[in-house]
Homo-oligomer: A and B are copies of this chain.
Amino acid sequence: MQLSIIKIGGNIIDDEARLATFLDAFAAVPGKKILVHGGGKLATKVAEGLGIRQQLVDGRRITDAETLRVVTMVYAGTINKNIVAQLQARGCAAIGLTGADGNAILSHRRVHPSIDYGFVGDVDQVNTPLLTSLLLQDKTIVFAPITHDGKGQLLNTNADTIAQELARALSTGFSVSLVYSFEKSGVLLNADDESTVIGRINPAEYEDLKARKVIFAGMIPKLDNAFAALRSGVGRVIIGRAEELSLLLAGQSGTTILP
Which residues of A approach B to under 8 Å, CB–CB? 46, 49-51, 69, 72-78, 80-82, 84-86, 88-89, 93-98, 100-103, 133, 137, 139, 146, 148, 150-154
Contact = CB atoms under 8 A, between A and B. Distances in A.
A95 B101 contact: yes
A80 B85 contact: no
A105 to B, nearest CB: 11
B85 A96 contact: no
29 contacts: A46-B73, A49-B49, A49-B50, A50-B50, A69-B78, A74-B77, A76-B76, A76-B81, A77-B78, A77-B80, A81-B100, A81-B146, A81-B154, A84-B101, A85-B152, A85-B154, A86-B152, A88-B100, A88-B150, A88-B152, A89-B151, A89-B152, A93-B102, A93-B103, A94-B102, A95-B97, A96-B98, A96-B101, A133-B137
Tell me which of A77, A80, A153 has the highest count of chain B C-beta atoms within 10 A of its own C-beta: A77
